[in-house]
Chain A
Amino acid sequence: MSRRLALLLVCLVLGRAAEAQRPLADYRYFRALSIDLNGRPPTRAELADLERPDFDIAAWIDNHLSGRGYVERVTRIYTDLLRLELPDSSISFAPRSILLRWTSILGPDGRPIDLYFRNGQRRAQPAIDGQVCFTAAEIGIQVPSDGASIGTPKAVTRKLLEARTVVVRPWWLYADYARPLPRDRASAAWVQRFGYELVWSMFTEPDGRTPMTGVRVCREEAQTAETGRVFATGYVAKKADPLLPGRLTRLPSDTPFAVANAGSSVSCSLAVAFESSHECGCGPGLERCLPSGPNGFVSPWHAPLGKDATFFAAARPAILWLRAWWSEEATKFIEQIFAGDQDVRLLLTSPATRVNGPLAQFYRFFANTTCCGAGTELGYTRPVPLFDPAAVPTTLAPFEVSTWATVENRGEHAAGILTMPIFLLKYGSQRQRAHAIYKAFMCREFVAETVKLEPSTEPDLTKRTGCATCHRRLEPMAAYFARVVESGWTYLPPTTFPLSSPRCTARDRAQMSPACATFYDPDFTDERSTMLRGAYGAPAHADAGPRGFAAEVSSSPDFAPCVVRNVAQSFLGRPLTSDDERWRQELSRAFVTGGYRIRALVQAIVTSRQYREANDVMTEAR
């Protein structure tokens, strides 16, 4: 290039630069800050602010470190690490006691009526006990526990219809459902009012046109009492027992709980109440139940900018609509910690959480109905919950989707995200749960050495050749979740499930009862002792529970460097290298002395040379 041309070029460059008030590097830095702290590139107005002589970049950064964009940015780091969402096809949560099925019967005028009922509902009349509230002779059809009805419907008499059923104005259609005569019916306006949306065309009478104003349910299901009496019929089913005429299933059998507590009062919130009382229904407005249809509950599916700006929503069954909020609970919880610049260890240790209307309903009425399965045979009938229903705000209605409240203390067993349903289901096994946190919060991974796995009968994986390299570390961590059932959130309290239960000792596996084998590990069972499943790696950890795991991880020397690494790498957009080691250590020290708060860490990162001055500029073309 000739010298004259070079001079001209320089003048051109310098001259241009003089027109703008800032050098290009400043615009690039401001754009990066805006993307990272404001969630979008700067607008022209914001660029004009930057160009003002009195523009204070430090103040801009400070201001935006308490803004929505920053919170979303940092939350995204952890939602990407934890991936707390579930596909529809994952294990379904649908206990019989909360699910209102529906079937179509013919009314007295010969027109179809949708009838809601619960599979397994106890009824005083043996002919209909445990099934829909009409016999086949009365309505012409038999209704199996799943699948389509069998037979040809015939019109039910008015007398029977009124005796056996009642029309209820349910929570999913009425804001004032708890009142004697609800009037505040759901409409399109509820989207703005509550953030709640139904596919209205699906909520019609069987004619497909008339808007549904109430649902007809069997009377037992419509009961609102909070307690009921346990009743025992005296019948214990045997395999060879014939079916009663007109029934598809045997009569419900008296459970050990029913036999032991016949006549006594039981809370209708318990699963045992559903199994042994015909006085426990779905509560006022059916608030203790979810309809299995219509599948018209609109829930957000793609909401990368938050549920307030949903890109795609789909109509789902109520049970899946409810599940969408489990993910949102975790997201809101994480957001609250970053928005309040709280100690990041609270992600694991905090007893608090955030709930909206559907979540409040879930925790008050549904969560504990999974208890107690085979545990009832070991005397576990009253759940010890991870989230105490009494802590749930009672003012939140199930359809109040967009109202969020903080629950300060879920109960003595709560531990951050570790005891949230979405985490416990996403990472269903004890080992998965431990591994997920090990990776996300200690930045460690289990990488197997290239060893050969020899066949072995050693049940203790911390000792088995080839397995021990990873399981020596993994089993003790997994043991912290030994008291939370796998793929669920039922807690197994030490009083009912001691580490070694005398009632479950056995000479060998074949001698263990199914209930014992469910909760105690046959591989660690003999005549003298048993071991709670998953606890062998570190029995003391089982009693410490998820809270103990939270304490261990958050006090680990790996915790702070891992947080620093994850946040720094996210903001820099590249892995940290050995060149960054000194800087990373400085950040870690400052992070710890600053009380494990992310805001100061992010501030240090975005004002650092590594972030501010990073560029790919080359002075001459290659």
Chain B
Amino acid sequence: MKGIAFVAACVLAGGCGPKAVITAGPTRALPPHREIVLDSGPKAPRRMVPPEVFLRAYLTWFGGLSPGATLLRAREGDLFDQWTDYLAALGLPDHHFDVPRAMQSNTVMLAAIGRLGEALCIRSVELELRANTPIASRVIFAFEATPQPTRAQFAAGFDVLHRTFLGYPAGLGPPQRLERFFELHQKVVANHAAGQRLTPDEMAWAAVCTALVQHPETGLY
């Protein structure tokens, strides 16, 4: 009873008092909560880069050499065997025997790409970084590879490699990607001592390169 009386009193007070005035003021934009990118594009799974395309890209990354010349360059240091060891693993069809084209990845395929990636990246480090080739002539490491780079210095080089292998600027990739690769770089530096075939920094850049050759976005499109 008391409550009802209290409420009634408030209402009466409101009803009998002067009217509230709402003054108009300048409008301002509502701050956004979150932006969601809505796209109406048809959804489809990524598909495998055809092995022919990968092979052509690989030869291009090796400086546009022929397959035979690439083999000779890659082989030293037990980095490469014969092309025939990898071609079937990469998923190429063999119409002599009606072996169809591979439409999905498998472990052997990735292992073959890993093998090819190590050969490419180690050789490129030797020919470009170690040999101090002018940056403009470099195919892979076309950037200033400062020893023990800062994060910003690493990001600049990583962007070059990211464009080379994944086809877009690193800045448009997922935010954690740069961190992951920088961490890889640092780990590999720590794994290697000076005085070996390649300096720790060179090995680290080779590792970053190798990881990008094998990256899911390199092999899919």
**Direct contact between A and B judged by beta carbons closer than 8 A:** yes
The residues of A with any CB-CB pair to B shorter than 8 Å are 3, 6-7, 10, 12-14, 16-17, 19-20, 23-25, 27-28, 30-32, 34-35, 39-44, 47, 72, 76, 79-80, 83-88, 302, 304-305, 309-312, 327, 572-574, 609-610, 612-617, 619-620
Could you write out 10 A-B pairs with CB less than 8 Å apart? Answer: A16-B171, A31-B221, A39-B53, A41-B49, A41-B167, A44-B164, A311-B67, A613-B42, A615-B44, A619-B38
Across-interface contacts of A39 in B (CB, < 8 A):
52-53, 56
Per a CB cutoff under 8 Å, which of A20, A302, A612 touches B169? A20
- Beyond A40-B60, A80-B93, A83-B98, whether A6 also contacts B52 by CB under 8 A is no
B66 proximal to A (CB < 8 A): yes
Task: Give Cα distance in the complex from A505 to B97, angstroms.
Answer: 41
Chain B window 87-129, contacts with chain A (Cβ cutoff 8 Å), 1 for yes, 0 for no: 1000011111110110000000000000000000000000000
> CB-defined interface of B61-84 with A at 8 Å, one 1/0 digit per residue?
000001110000000000000111
Q: Is B25 an interface residue (CB 8 A)?
A: no
**CB-defined contacts of B98 to chain A, threshold 8 Å:** 83
Q: Which of B12-20, B27-35, B188-196 contacts the other chain?
A: B27-35
- Contact indicator A304/B52 (Cβ below 8 Å): yes
Q: Give the shortest distance, in Å, between A86 (CB) and chain B (any CB).
A: 6
- B51 CB contacts on chain A under 8 angstroms: 304
Query: Which chain B positions have C-beta within 8 A of A311?
Result: 55, 67, 83-84, 87
A40-B57 CB under 8 A given contacts A27-B168, A84-B95, A574-B47? yes
Q: Is the CB of A20 within 8 A of B87?
A: no
Q: Is B46 an interface residue (CB 8 A)?
A: yes
Q: Of B56, B68, B101, B164, which is within 8 A of A305 by CB?
A: B56
Minimum distance in angstroms from B78 CB to a CB of chain A: 20
Q: Please tell me if B142 contacts chain A, counting CB pairs below 8 Å.
A: yes
For B168, give its contact among A47, A86, A610 (CB under 8 Å): A47
Q: Are B42 and A614 in contact (CB under 8 A)?
A: yes
With contact pairs A31-B167, A572-B44 given, residues A617 and B172 touching in the complex (Cβ less than 8 Å): no
With A16-B171, A39-B52 as given contacts, are A304 and B42 in contact (CB-CB < 8 Å)? no
A40 touches B34 (CB 8 A): no
Q: Assuming A83-B93, A311-B83, what are 8 further A-B pairs, CB within 8 angstroms?
A: A31-B221, A41-B167, A42-B167, A43-B60, A79-B95, A304-B52, A614-B44, A615-B41
**A311-B83, A573-B47 known; A44+B163 contact, CB < 8 A:** yes
B96 nearest CB across to chain A (Å): 5
* Contact in complex: A6, B171 (CB < 8 Å): no
Least CB separation from B88: chain A residue: A302
A573 touches B44 (CB 8 A): yes
Cβ contacts under 8 Å, B42 to chain A: 609-610, 613-614
Residues of B within 8 A of A80 (CB): 93, 95, 100-101
A290 to B164, CA, bound (A): 49
Q: In the assembly, what is the distance between CA of A566 and CA of B23, in Å?
A: 68
B43 at the interface (CB under 8 A from A): yes
**Residues of chain A lying within 8 A (CB to CB) of residue B56:** 39-40, 305
How far is it, in angstroms, between the C-alpha of A141 and the C-alpha of B62 when the chains are bound?
Answer: 56
Cβ contact within 8 Å between B41 and A304:
no
Query: Known: A30-B167, A41-B167. Is A10-B35 also a contact (CB below 8 A)?
Result: yes
Q: Which residue of B lies closest to A610 (CB)?
A: B42
Closest CB of chain B to A305's CB: distance in Å?
A: 6
B3 on interface, CB distance cutoff 8 Å: no
How many Å lie between the Cα of A20 and that of B109 in the bound state?
A: 33
Q: Which of A3, A86, A613 contacts B41 (CB 8 A)?
A: A613
Say how far A578's CB is from chain B's closest CB, in angstroms: 13
A67 to chain B, nearest CB (A): 13
Chain B's closest residue to A10 (CB) is B35
Please, how many angstroms separate the alpha-carbon atoms of A360 and B57 in the complex?
34
Chain B's nearest CB lies how many Å from the CB of A571? 10
| Docked CA distance A573–B48 (Å) | 8
Please give the distance in Å from B32's CB to the nearest CB on chain A. 7
Q: Is B24 an interface residue (CB 8 A)?
A: no
CA distance A83 to B168 in the complex (A): 35
